[in-house]
Amino acid sequence: MRWIAGIRTIGQGWIPKRSYEKIQSYSHFTITIRHGDVFIKVNFGGFVSLSTIDWRGRSVCTVFLRGCPLRCSYCQNDTIQTGKDLRDIDEITGMIQTSSPFISGIIFSGGEPTLQKEALVELAAFARKKGLAVGIQTNGFYPGTLEALFDKNLVDKIAIDYKTRWEAFPGTWDGYCANENESYERNVKRSIACCRKAVAEKKLAEFEVVLTVFYENGKYIKEISDRNPDVPLVLQQGEHKITQLQGAAPGMTNGEYISIKRNLQEHYTPMTLAEIKKIADELKRTVRIRTREIGEISYYKWSNVL
Ligand code: SF4
């Protein structure tokens, strides 16, 4: 989920990386009970002790929680989409404790951090006790976790990675959901609704939608923006995650790989800042733009960089 992502898109929207196996390996057993005491395990993905790019205006530490029900082709953290690295929650709180003198906030990312509801609620509560602002980067798959965090007033910022316009959810995401009974579209709609409600009730200070932009999906950005006029928008420069190519096509020869890689690099370069600004101009509102070249800026057609 974290910051600049790459993408492969076709037709109507964001196309996830095709997996050749049914996705089952994200399972998360985070609670054990011994002698009546509850012990929470964290399926750990990684830790950055100090970051100035994950939350504008703050120095934060970032905790990556392992496991995600999706398989985006542009995922920058695909090594922690699956697998298990179960740690005692005390180990993670110890890491946060070590960073706490140097930071004012904490970001939970992944993977999908809301997948581990119990662990995330406990870690957010710990961060709160340390006086840290709590931010979560999520794909919106688990609204129940967000609701639990809002109920306890444990979160200050939510950034939802908005995958595509609603019409492109069916089909695009079929077969990628963790549970066949789940609907990613329905869950994201519920997540957005509960974040809006939390903002209205002053339980959430910051809420934003992040859109990863490519030549292929640029024409849908206005539609998505118009449907979320009240939510701050971040346009993030998409970049092909070429290293995933071999994994996406078992049996591909090295020559075929190099040829496809060259083709992607030549024909599907990231949009330039000027091109992303052109898309932003059509939205007729202030947006934030993230590119590798200049980081993050606030942008509005008539005032340029704010
Ligand atoms: S939703 Fe999951 S697969 Fe997609 S970019 Fe985020 S972590 Fe990666």
User: Collapsing DSSP states into helix, strand and coil, what is residue 291?
Assistant: strand
Confidence of residue 1 (pLDDT cuts 50, 70, 90): very low
Q: Give me the mean pLDDT over the 160-168 stretch.
A: 79
- Taking the CA of residue 39 as centre, how many other CA atoms within 13 Å lie in the half-sphere pointing to its CB? 11
Number of the ligand 1 atom closest to the C-alpha atom of 74: 5
Do residues 241 and 5 touch, judged by C-beta distance below 8 A?
A: yes
Is any atom of ligand 1 closer than 6 Å to the C-beta of 81?
yes
The structural domains of the chain, ordered by start, are 41-299 (3.20.20.70)
Q: Which region among 71-80, 94-103, 288-297 has the lowest average model confidence (pLDDT)? A: 71-80
Tell me how far apart the alpha carbons of residues 160 and 207 are, in angstroms, rounded to a whole number: 8
Q: Give me the mean pLDDT over the 269-285 stretch.
A: 91
- Is residue 56's pLDDT more than 50? yes
Q: How many angstroms is it from 175 CA to the middle of ligand 1?
A: 15
In the block, tokens 């999908």 appear at 112
Q: Give me the mean pLDDT over the 254-279 stretch.
A: 78
Q: Which region among 27-31, 220-224, 290-294, 301-305 has the lowest average model confidence (pLDDT)? A: 27-31
Q: How many angstroms is it from 33 CA to the middle of ligand 1?
A: 31
Q: How many angstroms is it from 30 CA to the middle of ligand 1?
A: 20
Cα distances from 186 to residues 75, 142, 143, 192, 275, in angstroms, run 22, 10, 10, 10, 32
Predicted structure pTM score: 0.82
- pLDDT at 149 (0 to 100): 98
- pLDDT at 14 (0 to 100): 36
Q: Which region among 215-224, 225-234, 240-249, 250-259 has the lowest average model confidence (pLDDT)? A: 240-249
Tell me how far apart the alpha carbons of residues 48 and 61 are, in angstroms, rounded to a whole number: 6
Q: How many angstroms is it from 75 CA to the middle of ligand 1?
A: 5
More confident residue, 118 or 69: 118
Tell me how far apart the alpha carbons of residues 125 and 152 are, in angstroms, rounded to a whole number: 9
Is any atom of ligand 1 closer than 6 Å to the C-beta of 77?
yes
- pLDDT at 17 (0 to 100): 39
Of 160, 162, 8, 159, which Cα lies nearest the Cα of 75? Answer: 8
What stretches of 60-197 adopt beta strand conformation (E)? 60-65, 86-88, 105-110, 133-138, 157-161
**DSSP state letters, 3-52:** SS----EETTEEPPPPPSS---TT----EEEETTEEEEEEEEEEEEEEES
Burial status of residue 136 (CB atoms within 10 A of its CB: 0-12, 13-18, 19 or more): buried
Q: Give me the mean pLDDT over the 84-90 stretch.
A: 95
Averaged confidence pLDDT in the chain: 81
- Is residue 26's pLDDT more than 50? no
- pLDDT at 31 (0 to 100): 64
Is any atom of ligand 1 closer than 6 Å to the C-beta of 117?
no
Each residue of 203-221: pLDDT tens digit? 999 999 999 888 878 888 9
Q: Which amino acid is at 259?
A: S
Is any atom of ligand 1 closer than 6 Å to the C-beta of 6?
no
Do residues 43 and 59 touch, judged by C-beta distance below 8 A?
A: no
User: In terms of C-beta distances under 8 Å and separation of at least 24 residues, what long-range contacts does 88-91 make, across chains too?
Assistant: 88/39, 88/41, 88/42, 89/39, 89/40, 89/41, 89/42, 89/119, 89/122, 89/123, 91/42, 91/44
Q: How many angstroms is it from 68 CA to the middle of ligand 1?
A: 6
- pLDDT at 105 (0 to 100): 98
Q: How many angstroms is it from 139 CA to the middle of ligand 1?
A: 7
Is any atom of ligand 1 closer than 6 Å to the C-beta of 71?
yes
Q: Angle, nearest 10°, between helix axes 143-151 and 184-200?
A: 20
Is any atom of ligand 1 closer than 6 Å to the C-beta of 111?
yes
Number of the ligand 1 atom closest to the C-alpha atom of 110: 7
